[in-house]
Amino acid sequence: MPGVFTLIRASFTLIPSRDLIAQPITSKVVKQVILRKARPGSILHKLLADDSPISRAPEKPVKMSMISRAGRPLWNWVGGYPVVLRGGEEYGFDVVYVDSPIAEKRLGLGEGVAGRVIEELTGLEGRSAVYGSGEATISLTSITAVSSDQLGADLRGSGVRLEFQTPTLLQYPKPSRLRIRESVHSLYPTPHLLIMNLAQKWEMYESGKRPVGIPAYIPFELREVDHGIRPITIPLNGVGERGFTGWAVYRLAAASQERLGSYLRLLHMATFTGVGHSTSLGLGQVALSMLNHA
């Protein structure tokens, strides 16, 4: 089907050889591992190396998760305790690649690069230096893939619970007349901001019909019911960025099955791509669960 993209998730374990104090954004440890293994000129190197011309492109198709312990992402906020990776303990992380002809053309990666990316991901296995003198053993545990036309197809329920597992920087759209350069982030995942951010991501990967037909309907068809959202400040690019973590429950009230399907597709996509700003570094990681009563 023209324009369809595929989400490829590779899951790994990481076992440090000794205790390591990690960076507050622990996905940067994952980035270290990738760049030590990926050769210059490879797809992952082009997307992630700081000196690569496309490393700062908006909405890169590679997403590194935070390092997790027993399924819980590890990260640190401004003023929080350091994250320590214990020697001999098993941790996990994921790398998601969005195989999209549109994104590959936009970034000049060439055509049909998914096979090369999978080879590069499997090449991460083995021992890798971390922080110079540290070392960790990396093992690939699984590779899964889902097509964009399958997203949301099996989700059933009257409501949805979203858990924002890592700090989320959900930015407001910038009015062109204000000519402001900095991003302004919301401290709460309003339905309109949430869905429109995901719709914008979708359009970076797939052409054709817009994923959201009538934006004004969103707050009435995806209604806030409950939340445990809290603001958080994280160190990013040398400054403290203000965002949020926590959870929110929304009731699905769309009269149109087409619009309901659109919301569920976008929310399902978020479990792969994240939501908001800096998702390539594991910010905005989302877990989704369907509810029968909301």
20-22 and 83-85 beta bridge pairing: antiparallel
Asked whether the beta carbons of 74 and 67 are under 8 A apart, the reply is: yes
**How far from 32 is each of 66, 128, 194, CA to CA, in Å?**
13, 9, 30
Could you tell me the pTM of the whole model?
Answer: 0.94
Sketch out the chain's domains with CATH numbers.
6-148 (2.40.30.310), 151-291 (3.30.70.1900)
Dig out the tokens for 77 from the structure.
């906020």
- Give ∠ CA 40-44-50 in degrees, rounded to 5: 70
Q: For the chain, list residues with pLDDT below 70.
A: 1-3, 294
User: Distance between alpha carbon 25 and the CA centroid of its chain, in Å?
Assistant: 13
> Which residues are within 8 A (CB) of 253 and not within 5 positions of it... i.e. 6 or more apart?
220, 221, 222, 223
Residue 8: strand pairing partners:
97, 145
Task: Read off the amino acid at residue 191.
Answer: P
**pLDDT for the residue numbered 36:** 94
For residue 142, list its beta bridge partners: 11
Q: Residue 182 and residue 173: Cα distance in Å, rounded?
A: 11
